Amino acid sequence: MTADSIRGLLAPGLEISRVVTGLWQVADQERGGVPLDPAAASRAMDRYADLGLSTFDMADHYGSAEVIAGALAARRDDVRFLTKWVPEPGAAGAEKVAVAVDRARTRLGTECIDLLQFHAWNYADPSWLDCLFELAEHQAAGRIRHLGLTNCDAVHLDMAVRSGVPIVSNQVCFSLLDRRAAGAMTEVCRQHGIALLAYGTLAGGFLSERWLGRPEPPIDESLTWSQMKYRRFIDEAGGWDRFQGLLEVVARVAGRLGGNNPDVTLGLAEREVDHPDVTLGLANVACRYVLEQRAVAGIIVGARLGERSHVEENLNLFRFSLDDEARRELDDACAALDPIPGDCGDEYRRPPFLTASGDLSHHLTHLPAPYPVQRSGTNRLVSTGTPWEEMAGYSRAVRSDGRIHVAGTTASHGNRVIGGRDPAAQTHFIVDKIEGALQSLGAALDDVVRTRVYIREGVDWEAVARAHGVRFGRIRPANTMVYANTIGEDLLVEIEVEAEAG
């Protein structure tokens, strides 16, 4: 077995500890409405930083986590903070974005945020891209060092990068229980040089000895919010009994790889920690499995500040690695589970909502229509605001007697072409615009019964067809695909749709 460095490069100029301490449990600790004392809580973070775990992940909605981090930053300059902005869905102009950036800078006590990660709720509403373009302006102005995404799926990560947003990372759920990120997401990251930050690696603590052989706990207030969330993941993966089978395999691997390993070199940067014996826990193996995955720059392990510390256990991750036998055993154990459905982040966007509450009630107050709706007689009309609609006198979509007609739609958004000159990325954004128009008229992609796709001469039709298949493969509308001279040299694809809604 070999060990590796406790630190790594997330992006140019941003070195992080490969085990990042997550502060999401601050919100859970403050569930009763009483905030933690920032000075005391920040002192609990000192031990992590002193031993090399000097990177902390938080968000604007993790209770007072940013304030606590700011108290730590006021005392030491060897720490790095990764935070998130998770706005409610809907339009967010330049002023709203600026307020969010300045709020984070104030709480963290910094002029420049190390990494700001953005979460989008509804890709059918293009305001998520507007937010990213605004954030890129703040990065250019020196208020943000790097931009990341969180809970973004592979299609939309690719779309954002091809649209010119300088994304360096994506934070997603990734564990032995949930391996969605190992597929298309990893390939997009490798293609664009993007790093993955993996959370949920311990599934709320369920991937530990504490739950091996234990009866199935109910999903109620006896659990932490994190545990309630991952109990739903366990159910989706096949249930408690099959999950116990996974724990047994992980425990067996930990027992075989653990013990006294004199050949293991400690990779603890410049810090000396005297641990001649490497006694591995089930959690160590679960974390190491994700840490060794392609594109993963770091894993995020939660901390309950001031209550209990797992620093020594986390440092064990750099005293061993998995061998081929261990990887085979773990892969086989994962394959015995049902895959978590969808792509990364889908648990926050469509059923089954794998959240603490089982829905979005802890996260959202509303989901506004992506586009404005007007009435013309008995018809309802949607405009997406393109200059062509006003000039030529047409609507993006019209609903009449339960039937919806969506006009030919391209990848234009204001003065931008979304997706660059990649036909697949453009196709996905076009489908997003169509979905937004349908949502605004009270329908969904599931209601589509026909699509017509026009492809500019010389464009790779197969890339367009495959993207169409990703979005409509389950729905299977009637389809026509033809080559045509689409308007605009950079607009490679145009799609029109018919849908029936009750």
Are 305 and 44 spatial neighbours (Cβ–Cβ below 8 Å)?
Answer: yes
Number of H helices, E strands in the chain: 15, 19
Per-residue pLDDT reduced to its tens digit, 351-385:
999 999 999 998 888 899 999 999 999 999 999 98
Both structure tokens of 92: 């967010």
Residue 31 pLDDT exceeds 90: no
Residue type, 478: A
Q: Check residues 438 and 304 and name the one with the higher pLDDT.
A: 438
- Residues β-bridged to residue 22: 57, 302
User: Is the bond into 368 cis (omega within 30 degrees of 0)?
Assistant: no
Residue 124 pLDDT exceeds 50: yes
For a pLDDT cut of 70, what percent of the chain falls above it?
Answer: 95
How many CB atoms within 10 Å of residue 112?
Answer: 15
Residue 91 pLDDT exceeds 90: no
Are 367 and 357 spatial neighbours (Cβ–Cβ below 8 Å)?
Answer: no
Whose tokens are 């010119």? That residue is: 164
Residue 266 pLDDT exceeds 60: no
Residue 399 pLDDT exceeds 80: yes
Confidence bin at 3 (pLDDT 50/70/90)? very low
Average pLDDT, the chain: 93
Per-residue pLDDT reduced to its tens digit, 284-295:
999 999 999 999
Give the model's pLDDT for residue 278. 58
Give the model's pLDDT for residue 368. 94
Give the model's pLDDT for residue 268. 37
Give the model's pLDDT for residue 277. 53
The 3-state DSSP class for residue 373 equals strand
The 3-state DSSP class for residue 127 equals helix
Region 408-413: mean pLDDT is 96
- Residues β-bridged to residue 308: 304
Beta pairing class for 412-413 and 416-417? antiparallel
Residue 263 pLDDT exceeds 60: no
Residue 264 pLDDT exceeds 50: no
Region 244-262: mean pLDDT is 85
Give the model's pLDDT for residue 339. 98
Give the model's pLDDT for residue 354. 96
Per-residue pLDDT reduced to its tens digit, 136-174:
999 999 999 999 999 999 999 999 999 999 999 999 999
Both structure tokens of 286: 């679960």
Region 244-264: mean pLDDT is 80
Q: How far apart are the first and last CA of the chain?
A: 61
Give the model's pLDDT for residue 32. 83
Are 372 and 358 spatial neighbours (Cβ–Cβ below 8 Å)?
Answer: no
- Burial group, residue 389, by CB count within 10 angstroms (0-12, 13-18, 19+): middle
C-alpha torsion sign, points 462, 464, 467, 468:
negative
Are 342 and 255 spatial neighbours (Cβ–Cβ below 8 Å)?
Answer: no
Confidence bin at 388 (pLDDT 50/70/90)? confident
Residue 265 pLDDT exceeds 80: no
Q: Which region, left, alpha or beta, applies to residue 210 given φ > 0 means left and ψ of -120 to 50 means alpha?
A: alpha
Strand (E) or helix (H) holding 346: none
Where in 97-237 does DSSP place strands (E)?
113-118, 144-150, 167-173, 195-199
Question: What is the DSSP annotation of 246-315?
Answer: HHHHHHHHHHHH-B--TTPPP--TT------SB---HHHHHHHHHHTSTTEEEEEEE-BTTTB--HHHHH
Give the model's pLDDT for residue 164. 98
Confidence bin at 28 (pLDDT 50/70/90)? confident
Give the model's pLDDT for residue 259. 58
Region 404-429: mean pLDDT is 96
Residue 341 pLDDT exceeds 80: yes
Confidence bin at 271 (pLDDT 50/70/90)? very low
Both structure tokens of 41: 């809580």
Give the model's pLDDT for residue 97. 98
For a pLDDT cut of 90, what percent of the chain falls above it?
Answer: 84
